[in-house]
Amino acid sequence: MFVENENGFIITSKHQTLVSDEAPSYILRIQKDELERQLFSLRTFYVGVRRDWSNGTLVLFVRKDAFIGSGVIERIIAIDGLEDWERKLCLENNWYCKIVFSKLTRFQPIMSVKDTSAAGLNPSVLHGASISRSDALKVERVIPARIII
């Protein structure tokens, strides 16, 4: 399913990818304060959704009903490459890898999902959704101020 609004944003459901020459970007939903703090302080995020995560992939972060930031993937560490305590944490939470980000950006102010093409979608459906890199960059450009971490 493709969704497009008057701003020209295009998003696909979490099980589809865009047919494009450019590498897709993704949306990750952050559900807890603790995970948001971990993301922006340690530059890491554990994921359970299987996607074509790769170095250089742009990821947008959604919290509740707003885009709160973005990141560029530096590396992906599979569960068997993690320390014992991290492996246990992943198994308990059904996560399969750890993403380490080279660059993180916090949006100031945050951008409501309602102001993008994802307006008609339930925010929980956005977790793992594919979005074209050009559309992800459109979201970033609309933000008046960004804090680069």
Domains recognised in the chain with CATH numbers? 2-148 (2.30.130.30)
Mean pLDDT of 75-97: 96
The stretches of 17-68 forming alpha helices (DSSP H) are 33-42
In contact, 7 and 114? CB cutoff 8 Å: no
Max Cα–Cα distance, the chain, nearest Å: 48
Nearest to 40 by CA among 26, 61, 55: 61
The token pair that represents 25 in the structure block: 């970007």
Q: Rounded to the nearest 5 degrees, what angle is found at the Cα of 46, between the Cα atoms of 128 and 81?
A: 125
- Give the model confidence (pLDDT) of 103-142 as tens digits: 999 999 998 888 876 666 666 678 888 888 888 888 888 8
